[in-house]
Amino acid sequence: PAPRATPTTTTDDDDDDGEDKFDVIVLDALDPEDESDVADKLYTDDAFLGAMYDSLTPDGIIVAQVGTPPSIHDPRADRGIYDLRERMFLHLERRDETAAMLVYEETHCGFNEPHSFLVLCRSRDCRSRWYADDDRVDYWIRERIASTRGGGMSLVHYDGGTQRSFRVPPRAWETVYCRREPMPAECAYRGLDQSMAVFDFGRDDAAGEGNFEIRTVKE
């Protein structure tokens, strides 16, 4: 059987062909490390991935279950059991419409180990929501999610504090990502140079912003 995606929210806006676009598509099927024809098509079929992507509104997102998390001891992703997932990620990264790819892990899935999820955004605006303050996320939850009949919150394992824990990918994801060849340029900026004795932090408040730079000072 062909892989399936679930459209969860539609809009009133039509594309040029008169077809509805989707605000959110949830893709929840086999783990990429499962050896099956279905898993192979799900994670590597360019036509399927492209069609799913093209079905989104300009602000739409895809949420995909992408299997068990990597370990810091894993080899380069394309040489391990997560080769299918890596090929899927590379395909999505190459698309001009990709504005953000956000990965997080969740332990309350009913499995024996945590599972990983990918949030794929067509608009950079979703990054502001992803990195929003805890209280703002709590407000959105209370405003948009219906309460239980007893007046309690419907979401048991998710709130603003939970979202804050999703902001930064786990260390293993960063480690395996930076094992790509050639190494991604941003991997050169991980951590601080341990060979330096002093790190001079200087804020630039002239523009009213809180940006800062790190100047390494050798002995």
pLDDT at 111 over 50: yes
Q: Specify whether the CB–CB gap between 54 and 156 falls below 8 A.
A: no
Two tokens at 199? Answer: 């790190």
- Output the pLDDT for position 71: 95
Q: Which single residue is written with the structure tokens 């059987």?
A: 1
CA distance 210 to 2: 49
Q: What is the dihedral of CA 131, 132, 137, 140, to 10 degrees?
A: -120
pTM given for the model:
0.78
Mean pLDDT of all residues belonging to the chain: 83
Q: What angle do CA 146, 136, 203 make, to 5 degrees?
A: 165
Two tokens at 45? Answer: 């079929």
pLDDT digits (tens, 9 = 90+) for 63-109: 999 999 999 999 999 998 899 899 999 999 999 889 999 999 999 88
pLDDT at 116 over 80: yes
Two tokens at 139? Answer: 């407000």
* Residue whose C-alpha is closest to residue 159's, from 183, 190, 134: 134
Length reported for the chain: 219
- Higher pLDDT: 13 or 100? It is 100
Q: For residue 20, what are the CA distances in angstroms to 46, 139, 214? A: 21, 30, 48
pLDDT digits (tens, 9 = 90+) for 185-216: 888 878 766 676 665 555 555 555 555 555 66
